[in-house]
Amino acid sequence: MPTCPSPRIVRLNANTSPLSESERQLLATLNATIIEVEGATDAEVLAACRDADAIMIVSAYLRAPVIRELTRCKIISRIGTGVDKIDIEEATRQSIIVNNLPNAFTDEVADHTLALLLAVARQIPFLDREMRQGRRPLNLAHMHRLSAQTVGIIGFGLIGRAVAKRCKAFGLRVLANDPCLTSELADQEGVTMTNLDTLLAESDFLCLLCPLLPQTRGMLAMPQFKKMKPGAVLVNTGRGELTNEDDLATALQEGVIRYAALDVFGIVNVFDANGFSMEHALFKLDNVLLTPHVAAASEEAAADCQRRAAQAVVDVLNGRWPEHAVNPSVKPWFAA
């Protein structure tokens, strides 16, 4: 029997990412009351979650002022990997375990990163537009053999290593930058470990795959773009806020770099059920390829992620440690 009789579980993002049958089945073992809300604002989140025993979250924010008001919460279960929208420090102070799934979408994000890179390398968006105008371009500038090109990867975790493996299969030279990267791991993965300035200067394709942290927020702005090759391509499947998006648009407009392929954005909330503004300059440029934060998407990954996130709630409300606590130093409400 769960240690919390008839617990209250709030499932956020219930409109943009509805509760799955596998989640319902697992949570049913707790005899729980499940509250399904979107959580588009702090006020909506707090109204639903104040007396919740567990919170499951996809893309909503859980900020410190809201977390401080939670009176019974034992676990915040992230249905995915990134936790930059959850105040981990405040949750830890409130004895709330935060669980995520760091290996949930590794293959999907790596595949999507390569899909964007290859689409730009082979100029697929441009060729599609030309084909629909009844034209075959005679000159394809910037069309290069991949084995003659260099890709730089910023962030060499599970996804970074998966991207490197795929890039090497296409013959690309791979540079990597990560504060946790060792020479031993670089040798094992067949990549060249280097500093950020060298990576910026030598990369024909730059893949952003690091987490959004205070030290990485806005890490690429105009000074960094000016260190890149004029023909370089930025591929961002990490977080939009890793770049200064205004500077990125200017760099693309002025030819500081050639192209960007983006799946993540700070300028808009692509999860907004009412749609989002396209007024930003990035939406108006031909040398930008855009996808709406779908790099992690697959039917298999979604099912696995939903099941594992629900299982983490079941585990904690039964007094067990979950699969992957982001804040392992937390002193939870139960004796670990």
Tell me the residue range of the domain where 173 lies: 106-290
What average pLDDT does this structure show over 114-137?
96
Tell whether 83 and 174 lie within a shared domain: no
Q: Determine the pLDDT at residue 272.
A: 86
Q: Determine the pLDDT at residue 127.
A: 96
Q: Is 72 among the domain residues? A: yes
Tell whether 15 and 143 lie within a shared domain: no
- What is the percent of the chain with per-residue pLDDT over 70, rounded to a whole number? 98
Contact 131, 186 (CB under 8 A): no
What average pLDDT does this structure show over 283-288?
97
| CATH code assigned at 198 | 3.40.50.720
Tell whether 31 and 92 lie within a shared domain: yes
Q: Is 184 among the domain residues? A: yes
- Total domain count, the chain: 2
Sheet with 205-208: strands ordered across: 192-193, 173-177, 150-154, 205-208, 233-236, 259-262, 288-290
Tell whether 93 and 241 lie within a shared domain: no
45 has a pLDDT exceeding 90: yes
Q: Is 31 among the domain residues? A: yes
Tell whether 134 and 90 lie within a shared domain: no
Alpha-carbon span 63 to 66, nearest angstrom: 6
Tell whether 129 and 249 lie within a shared domain: yes
Residue type at position 83:
V
Alpha-carbon span 241 to 245, nearest angstrom: 8
Alpha-carbon span 253 to 282, nearest angstrom: 9
1 has a pLDDT exceeding 70: no
Alpha helices in the chain (DSSP H): 21-28, 42-49, 64-67, 88-93, 106-121, 124-132, 158-169, 183-189, 196-202, 222-225, 245-253, 299-317
Alpha-carbon span 226 to 257, nearest angstrom: 8
336 has a pLDDT exceeding 80: no
Q: Is 2 among the domain residues? A: no
Q: Is 273 among the domain residues? A: yes
Q: Determine the pLDDT at residue 334.
A: 74
185 has a pLDDT exceeding 60: yes
Which single residue is written with the structure tokens 């049913």? 28
Q: Determine the pLDDT at residue 5.
A: 73
Helix, strand or coil, per DSSP, at residue 111:
helix
Q: Which two tokens stand for residue 270?
A: 């692509």
Contact 79, 17 (CB under 8 A): yes
* Range 145-178 burial, b when 16+ CB lie within 10 A, else e: ebeebbbbbbbbbbbbbbbbebbeeeebbbbbbb
Q: Is 61 among the domain residues? A: yes
Rounded to a whole number of angstroms, the distance between the first and last alpha carbons of the chain is 17
What average pLDDT does this structure show over 30-58?
96
Q: Which two tokens stand for residue 165?
A: 């493996």
- Per-residue 3-state assignment (H helix, E strand, C coil) for 60-90: CCECHHHHCCCCCCCEEEECCCCCCCECHHH
Q: Is the pTM of this model over 0.95?
A: no
Tell whether 229 and 307 lie within a shared domain: no
Tell whether 33 and 158 lie within a shared domain: no
pLDDT in tens, 82-123: 899 999 999 999 999 999 998 889 999 999 999 999 999 999
